[in-house]
Amino acid sequence: MELGFTKAEIEGVEIKPVSCKTALSKSRLESDYALNPYRGCSHGCKYCYSPCVLREERPWGKFLDVKRNIPNVLSKELKKKKKGMIRIGSVTDPYQEAEGSYELTRRCLEQLSRHDFPILIQTKSGLVRRDTDLLKKIDSDIGFTITTLNEDFRKKFEPNAPPVSERLSAIRELKEEGLDLWVFIGPLFPYLNDKKEDLIRLKNTLKSLGIEEIYLDKLNLRKKVWERIKPLLGSEMQKKYRDIYFDGDDYFKRKKKMFESIGKTVF
């Protein structure tokens, strides 16, 4: 089942088919296993922690390794592995643009539908709607990341991710299909996307779509993340961020109660 696809083309992204030796790896993110059909992510989110986890030196958002044989490798591993939760896309978005051409996530779901492994998917893409038929056959836990309703903010910090409207439309359609969903609001950027009135508006929008589970997390500034977002902040905002992240300002502690009025905080 090693695929010979028509190569996808994404402006500014170098795409390279590769072969993998393993499909499932141990996970510490509320699951037993991680399954990443791709290495890299064309969304290019400035705050993404994945390059740090992968120790990846290539410019994030500018490359994508396509694991062309991963459905076949997964099929073999599922016959041997102990049952457990599989997180699809722990360091990539399994429904990023290239998935529309390569369909690796879908082909992995086809394998999973033949076994009894529960899955967890977190995405920013409405492409997940394509696989509703398979997701209904699997014990699926599906979440969307929505950082803000503000498209200007989204374009700045999630430059190539799908617009927020696409995510909201996908949530509506998947709920109509009877799938249970949750939403992750984050990361929360101090002074930028964490204003009370904006979060209340986002919460009310999600509630109107039938979302009951909402989680929030703060921006975590690893070194490489700071290097990517620093140029996007003005000098005054840079100083505020230094105070919060490097000089002991208890900003998030002061605002935690307000955040908890929106959803469950994970920090």
Answer whether residue 3 is part of any domain. Answer: no
Residue 141 lies in a domain: yes
Residue 80: is it exposed, middle or buried by C-beta count within 10 angstroms (0-12/13-18/19+)? exposed
**How many domains does the chain divide into?**
1
On whether the CB atoms of residues 135 and 109 are closer than 8 A, the answer is yes
> 240 in a domain, yes or no?
no
CA distance 247 to 181: 38
List, in sequence order, every beta strand (DSSP E) within 36-137.
Answer: 38-39, 63-67, 86-88, 119-123
Is 242 part of a structural domain of the chain? no
The CATH number of the domain where 161 resides is what?
Answer: 3.20.20.70
Stretch 72-95: mean pLDDT: 97
Q: What percent of the chain has pLDDT over 70?
A: 97
Domain presence at residue 4: no
pLDDT computed for residue 5 by the predictor: 53
pLDDT tens for residues 34-67? 999 999 999 999 999 999 999 999 999 999 999 9
Residue 170 has pLDDT above 50, yes or no: yes
The residue among 188, 151, 192 whose CA lies nearest residue 168 is: 151
Q: Strand (E) positions, 128-218?
A: 140-145, 181-188, 213-218
Please check whether residue 244 lies inside any domain of the structure. no
Parent domain of 181 = 14-222+255-265
Residue 2's pLDDT band (boundaries 50, 70, 90)?
A: very low
Q: Is 2 part of any domain? A: no
CB-based burial of residue 260 (10 Å sphere; 0-12 exposed, 13-18 middle, 19+ buried)?
A: exposed
The model's pTM is: 0.94
Residue 245 lies in a domain: no
pLDDT digits (tens, 9 = 90+) for 105-162: 999 999 999 998 999 999 999 999 999 999 999 999 999 999 999 999 999 999 999 9
